[in-house]
Structure 1
Amino acid sequence: MVNLLFWKTPRAAPPKVPTDTVIPLHAFDDRPINKSIQLLFLMRFDDVLDPEKLRSSLEKLLAREGWCKLGARLRLNSKGKLDYHVPASYDRETRPAIAFSHLQYETAIGEHPLASRLPRPDGLSDRPALVCEPDTFKSLMRRPDGPTSLDDYLYRDEPQLGLHVVSFTDATLVSLNWPHTLLDGMGRRELLRAWMAVLDGRDDDVLPFYGYDHDPLVDLGLSPDAGAEKFKMAEHLMSKWQMTLYGVRYLWDLVWNREEEAKMVCLPAPFLKTLFESTRADYAASLADAPTANGKPAPPTFLSEGDIISAYFSRAMTQRLPKTSTQTVSVMNAFGLRGTFLPADRAYVANAVWGVFTLFTVRELATQPLSALAGKVRHTIAEHGTREQLEARAAFLRSQGADMSSMLDMYGDAGMMLLTFSNWTKGRFFETDFSAAVVEKAGEGADSKKPANYHRGRPSYIQPCGYVQNFSMRNSFPVIGKDNAGNYWLVGTLRKGEWAAIEEMFKTNPNGKVV
């Protein structure tokens, strides 16, 4: 009787359309973690944009050869894998290329009860700051009945790309929604770059779409030279037993500490200038004082801004832990494969990211200079991010019985803390230029004062958030990038209460020095 009361009719997929082209998802797309994440991506423009120009230019892009794949519908095949069903053509009324929605408010953005709370880079202090909880603004980033899980795409004839525009008298919010199976951070950059070209009337500048019906990464690790080098992280690959123990600890933490907090962080430009210069100077001095290595490759001489930021936040995460702890901290930096394996004159709009792991102890993070920590991150990326090492890694994992879609390898030990960083700075999202859609107005709204980082037709604020099933985003830090005034923005998700220690570091030791 109880079963009858709670019985639900199973959801059925829409009927197949005979004229659709069916294409299997690429191996790096059809991964469990990607299937668990539905992303929302908001850009605030302090200009009035024409929503129809935004919509029609994106639809025009998705009508092009190859690019039409981005309007495909997701379906499960008989083997439980995902397929794209690409319509022969799109029609706004029957099968649109994108899910478009628009809200119009006849007020200034500063007069809207929720949108007025979006962060502005005005009056920034000289130290990092927590500026908001991005999930607060989800209702501004999507239509009310928009997808929140992979099932919503599988069991509705739902376009994978959603475009949600919220218009005010002096500003416009433009949000994209999509399942992570569709594309990664640099895939989003390729999409935006092509969209801008069409919006500007530069159709010839749109790069050809690469990988429409073939997976260019599926044979990674199978080339004759794949075993030429030994995979240098093999000894740190977690065994099935270690993964099991780690998983038990992970689940235990989620059960007993269920609440999480996502926070947007702003790193102001003046603070970063000092941090970057001092860290690089300390690093250069340490190299000058270091003894000459015997037969070993010289360490990298340059620290990127991303190296320093990931080291800085890795240190921040140890503020609440004993400084003598030998617990392993595995710092994973997302590493893009496009520059190594894919042609630069083609647009690869999919997922092409692997992780490069740097292993620390809590004691190292708490006691070593920031320059040494950033140097270790850079050394790991330089050593393990080569074509030879990536091929060796894939070959090694294949020898362990994995295929490309299941290569979710982790490095460290069962008792480690895992921190993940995904740096989108190369995507240059703050340089998104929608000036061709700006509506020229004689007058402006009450909130006409432009933010400090204003640039016509470009976003002044960007934030991601989303919906996650079956796992947690805890201890992850997507770095959104640098705005037009040089401020960095990132978002982190931590267990509830853990932000307090980081905020205290921002106030008392903002440069992250050893104390």
Structure 2
Amino acid sequence: MGNLFSKPKPQAPRVLTDTVVPLHKWDDQGVNRAIIMLFMMRFDDVLDPEKLRSSLEKLLSRDDCRRLGARLRLNDKGKLEYHIPEQFDEKRPAVAYSHVKYGVAIGEHPLASRLPRPSAKPSALGDPNEFWSLMRREDGPTEIADYYARDEPQLSLHVVSFEDATLVSLTWPHTLLDAMGYHELLTAWTAVLKGRDGDVKPLHSVDHDPLATHGSEPREPYVLADKRLSKAQKVLFIFRYAYELLRYRDEERMICVPAAYVEKLRARAVSDLVAARGDATEKPFVSEGDVLSAWVTRALTRAVLAPTSDKTIMVVNAFGLRWVLADDRLPRDKAYVSNAIASVYTYLSVKDLLTKPLGSVAGAVRQAIVEQGTSAQLETRRFFELEAVKSGWPALYGDGWMNMLIVSNWSKGRFFEMDFSAAVVREGGGTGRTGKAGRPSYIQNRRYMKNFSSRGAIPVVGKDGAGNYWLQSTARKGFWDKIQNAMDEESP
């Protein structure tokens, strides 16, 4: 869990010529400070590492993108600041770059050869943490203090080259950006890589925080107000959660859900909802994301709890603010490369989760998004969260005995569609290719977390070129055989 009371590391000397601006409110939060993200893309082609490096550095040298190359510092009040160099050079580059080259095919490398490949049925595959040495340089940052203590660039690019494949990884502190912010970064990077600098959207202003007043007042009654936990219930929930993390170790797996299986799952969910309504005139809508949320939470719960249990499961779905705030705070003509994530909450008993049809569960997830995902509801929820912070207690809803699962769907980021073909030196000829040249065939992330755990978190990384979905999940160590059995039982 880390030491909650550890003293901050001494900071690197300040550079007087740096431009200093504060971080946005949604960026400088405790949970964001605690997480260092690593994101690896496998390409079944040989890519030019220098083209990758130079194009990313060129992007970050643009006037409106220079914040992405800024250094982090703590001010006298303990708040994070961006210190933007007057110019980037070899001593203070925009990006920390490293490159390793192996003169063998990826299938001959003892570690890289074990990277997961698509499966014929839903399967829990390799542990993504096994591959950390392929994702970063040996002395790469592992906590937020490394950035302000070492004058470390916020973005680290690590490229691993094989004779027939390339691994491209970026590392950054979560204070910099979220999944959709990363989508904006990759979209801009690939545009510069292709020589289409004019396609890069300008970033929202560095010195203006468009979300600074979001949540300053409630706009309407909150739909979950009657579920708010008392202080005693919060103590119970937090104690149970902390005990679970301290008592049992984590174990993470990649999960591949084949394309045909997802199609059948969604068709089954829609059929369930039609049957429940008894009205065929209007076809109900549930997205693939809703269905995957329902499916994976059922599998994880079935591995732990009996279907007769009345315990509450709180399914937390990460919800991006960029679309709902596009008409006022976050216009689409600019890229918001920061954090803008809220949450919506679905509450189900274990009995309902495991015994009701899949469509019922997916429909409950969709209904929660519809009810809680409006601009007014999200701002009202934010108001109560900010008020709770002042009291020293989080704003929690549900009951003190509930279990929590967190689904973060990155599919809208379309990471498997990112086009790095302009950096392709030689196309790979392997039979495992699942997409076009210069597109990632496999993606995984890894997190360094201080004082937090990813237990119960389920990032949906996205859909590969063949339509297979890739998920990650962290569960109690020793439970993955049970989870695999539960996935096997969930027939489409």
TM-score (norm 2): 0.94
- Cα drift, residue 234 of structure 1: 1.6
Name the aligned partner's letter for residue 313 of structure 2. Answer: V
Structure 2 counterpart of 1:467, from 444, 448, 451: 448
Matches within 5 A, 1:221-236: 221-222=215-216, 226-227=218-219, 229-236=220-227
Aligned to 2:199: 205
- Cα drift, residue 89 of structure 1: 1.2
Q: Aligned in 2, Cα 1:155/1:401: closer, same or farther, shift over 3 Å?
A: closer
- Cα drift, residue 402 of structure 1: 4.5
Aligned counterparts of 1:103 and 1:452: Cα–Cα separation in 2: 23
Aligned to 2:61: 63
Q: Aligned in 2, Cα 1:378/1:284: closer, same or farther, shift over 3 Å?
A: same
- Cα drift, residue 153 of structure 1: 0.9
Q: Deviations over 1:94-152 (max 9, x none)?
A: 1000000000111111111111111222xx32x20112100010000000000011111
- 2:116–2:126 contact (8 Å) kept in structure 1: yes
Q: Deviations over 1:44-67 (max 9, x none)?
A: 001110000000000000001121
Q: Aligned in 2, Cα 1:408/1:198: closer, same or farther, shift over 3 Å?
A: farther
- Cα drift, residue 289 of structure 1: 4.9
Q: Aligned in 2, Cα 1:23/1:467: closer, same or farther, shift over 3 Å?
A: same
Name the aligned partner's letter for residue 246 of structure 1. Answer: F
- Cα drift, residue 399 of structure 1: 5.2
Aligned counterparts of 2:243 and 2:155: Cα–Cα separation in 1: 35
Matched, 1:387 2:375: yes
Structure 2 counterpart of 1:151, from 135, 139, 145: 145
Matched, 1:412 2:398: yes
Q: Deviations over 1:341-382 (max 9, x none)?
A: 211111000000011111111111111111001001000101
Aligned counterparts of 1:452 and 1:76: Cα–Cα separation in 2: 45
Structure 2 counterpart of 1:421, from 407, 416, 427: 407
SS at 1:339 equivalent: coil
Aligned counterparts of 1:456 and 1:354: Cα–Cα separation in 2: 35
Matches within 5 A, 1:42-121: 42-91=40-89, 93-121=90-118
Q: Aligned in 2, Cα 1:87/1:380: closer, same or farther, shift over 3 Å?
A: same
Aligned counterparts of 1:10 and 1:214: Cα–Cα separation in 2: 28
Q: Deviations over 1:305-348 (max 9, x none)?
A: 11111111111122131222111111000000011221111100
How much is the aligned-residue C-alpha RMSD, in angstroms?
2.1
- 1:397–1:407 contact (8 Å) kept in structure 2: no
Q: Deviations over 1:220-279 (max 9, x none)?
A: 1336xx43x21111222333332222111112112221x111000000011111111111
Aligned to 1:376: 364
Aligned counterparts of 2:7 and 2:384: Cα–Cα separation in 1: 45
- 2:344–2:373 contact (8 Å) kept in structure 1: yes
- Cα drift, residue 500 of structure 1: 2.0
- Cα drift, residue 397 of structure 1: 4.1
Matched, 1:301 2:284: yes
- 2:155–2:170 contact (8 Å) kept in structure 1: yes
More deviation in 479-488 or 20-29?
Answer: 20-29
Aligned counterparts of 2:307 and 2:432: Cα–Cα separation in 1: 41
Task: Please list every run of 5 or more consecutive structure 2 residues that lacks an aligned counterpart in the other structure.
Answer: 1-5
Task: Please list every run of 5 or more consecutive structure 1 residues that lacks an aligned counterpart in the other structure.
Answer: 1-7, 291-298
- 2:39–2:135 contact (8 Å) kept in structure 1: yes
Matches within 5 A, 1:342-353: 342-353=330-341
Aligned counterparts of 2:350 and 2:487: Cα–Cα separation in 1: 19
- 2:216–2:383 contact (8 Å) kept in structure 1: yes
Aligned counterparts of 1:353 and 1:407: Cα–Cα separation in 2: 20
- 2:268–2:358 contact (8 Å) kept in structure 1: no
Q: Deviations over 1:21-70 (max 9, x none)?
A: 11111111111111111111000001110000000000000001121100
Aligned counterparts of 2:159 and 2:417: Cα–Cα separation in 1: 19
- Cα drift, residue 440 of structure 1: 3.6
- 1:35–1:179 contact (8 Å) kept in structure 2: yes
Aligned to 1:336: 320
Paired-residue identity, %: 53
Aligned counterparts of 1:383 and 1:466: Cα–Cα separation in 2: 31
Structure 1 counterpart of 2:156, from 138, 155, 162: 162
Larger Rg: 1
Q: Deviations over 1:196-230 (max 9, x none)?
A: 1100000000001114111111101336xx43x21
Aligned to 2:3: none
TM-score (norm 1): 0.90
Aligned counterparts of 1:190 and 1:496: Cα–Cα separation in 2: 35
- Cα drift, residue 407 of structure 1: 9.6
Aligned counterparts of 1:401 and 1:186: Cα–Cα separation in 2: 26
- Cα drift, residue 287 of structure 1: 2.5
Name the aligned partner's letter for residue 425 of structure 2. Answer: V
- 2:388–2:394 contact (8 Å) kept in structure 1: no
Matched, 1:312 2:312: no
